A and B are shown apart, each in its own frame.
Chain A
Amino acid sequence: MTQPQEPVDARSVGELLLDADLTSRASLWDVSPEHAKARVRSWGEVVEAAADLWASIPDASNNPSMRRIAELTQGLHRTHMRSGWPGAGPGDPHLESIAASLSRAAELVGARRHPTAVLSLPGQRDAEAARTRLMHVLYVSAHSVGVALGHHTRDLQRRLDTRQSIPTGDSLKHARDTKERVAAVERLAGAFLHPRWPAALTGEHRDRANLQRLEQALARWDLQAHRSLAAPPTTANLTWTARVQQDIVVAAAVVASAAARLGHLPAESVERARSALAQLDHAWAALATDLTALQGRQRRLDPELLLAGREVQAALRDITHQHAGLAAPREIAARVDLAAAAGHLHQSLTAAVDLAHVTRDALCDPELTVAARGAHAMAISSAAAQGMAAWVDAGSLHHNHQVPLPQPVRQALTDRADQLVQAALTADSVSAGLQRFPTEAPKSPPSPGRRHEDLATSTVTLNQASRWGCER
């Protein structure tokens, strides 16, 4: 009787790397707190295998990224050996599979090539492709370790906050330290993969206290929205601004409602604000819907505005959401001081009054352009009562070029903006009851007042305004 032979892994290097990529993505689906320590145990194997494969691929540029990642990971391993955390135990099946695929790929490449061999041009491209794919696997895997550790540390922190004991063998400090050190690897891999992309997006901000994160995100957003709209306006920037503002209004209503339900804010104050917030929600939504019809899928944004808006969205979601739905009031209360959060959101609603005015001004800017087809459709629909008119030339319509706003479209948008300003004013005034903090007068010297010439409208401004054609 013959012994059954070990099955031979017949996959190519490309297939092994692709498998590692798909497995690293799959590891992002399973990131519950209990996966964290197993993932940390297997992380070193992944990096070691990746470093072996990297070393076997000829690299004329001698890029140091993988060397740094390997050194950081060895350092982390030494710390774990000294501290005894995470200790012995099972590894993570996803990461172990990735490590096995990368090790096998390293064997295949090492058997065929010498690392210092000179490559042809197609060979160099192939090697670059392999390094990119390998670094992507590390990047996604590091992220999965970080996300699992994030859940794990939040879980432990919650236990400490509620005066429960931490399970034997767990350590909040070691878990946090490891998360930071794996995040450094994620940043290094990210820098290799996309040097053009702002590093600020990479997630360490997620560990800040929810309230502080919210406060900073809202302040940054308010500043950036004003800056971006002060530049020559674009439909995409205006639409994104409206959508983020709408998200703030929706979150304000959710937080206020939870606060009222649990007695953190007077129910009658929240009830008074409810209708005004709904009106403001509708006003931002109506403007954004019109603008979306005018831009289609062309959503190229000022990068800073995009970052600031995404941070607001993430900060709000952390407080208000549980998976795809809203979190229960008690769950929201466990994450954040409800009344304080409602206070910050109300401050943002106050700032939104000015942003509504700035939005209206931007819509009046003669430099604002929109996609021809959307403009044509809206102009025809707006001007229906005045009969058919050629608001957009046929050539622009055919190629869907960017065109200045036809007058009926500008009129429709500024009407929307007028409603928005009114709704913002009402919401700000009615929502004052969401502010728990005592409002003390600032202890600054009395203002001497502005000089007469500062108050007067300049000739330049008047001329500009008359050009813009928004006044009725």
Chain B
Amino acid sequence: MTGTALQTADAVDTWREVIALLAEAADRGYEEAITNPAAHSTALAADGLASAAIALLPEDLDHELNEVALDAVVAHLNSAGLIRHAEQVTRRHPIEQLPAGASQVIVELLDLVREISP
């Protein structure tokens, strides 16, 4: 019917990449906040989303998050760019392949992308 399977290893890897991007967005945002206080709120929102996304994965795999290598194209992105990129990455898989609860994180991520758009 849909030609898809429920949760795949690839999709879980994608979810880890989303977490890594959001964590990176948070950390870069906190750095940006040193000179631009407005950036702190966005960084904190990204940080909270990273934690919400982590909560959907089994706890015993947390240590693997530090091993996720990010694409070279994100190296020069600022915090807002990383947040947008994280949303794009969520589109790689249909929702049923992502961890249960991903819908809410995605909707909140879309809300954040809209909020930080000029």
Contact = CB atoms under 8 A, between A and B. Distances in A.
Interface in B29-78: 30, 33-34, 37-45, 47-48, 50-52, 54-56, 59, 62-63, 65-66, 68
Interface residues of A, number: 76
A14 B51 contact: no
Q: What are the 9 tightest A-B residue pairs by CB atom distance, in nearest-first order?
A: A194-B101, A14-B2, A132-B96, A297-B65, A129-B96, A296-B66, A136-B95, A324-B116, A297-B23
Contacts of B6: 125, 128-129, 132
Majority DSSP secondary structure for residues of B touching A? helix
A133 interface: yes
Contacts of A25: 91, 106, 110
**Which of B37, B50, B91 is packed against the most chain A CB atoms within 10 Å?**
B37
Majority DSSP secondary structure for residues of A touching B? helix
A369 B77 CA distance: 32
Contacts of B96: 128-129, 132-133, 136
Interface string A192-216: 0111110001100000000000000
B66 A21 contact: no
Nearest to A251: B41
Contact of A193 (B33, B55, B103): B103
A322 B45 CA distance: 15
A48 to B, nearest CB: 20
Given A132-B95, A240-B51, A194 B44 contact: no
A115 to B, nearest CB: 12
**Which of B44, B45, B66, B116 is packed against the most chain A CB atoms within 10 Å?**
B44
A202 B111 CA distance: 12
A306 B52 contact: yes
Given A247-B44, A289-B30, A292-B27, A126 B2 contact: yes
A375 interface: no
Contacts of A201: 104, 108
A400 B63 CA distance: 7
**Which of A236, A289, A316, A325 is packed against the most chain B CB atoms within 10 Å?**
A325
Contacts of B107: 28, 139-140, 143
B41 A313 contact: yes
A299 B23 contact: yes
A392 interface: no
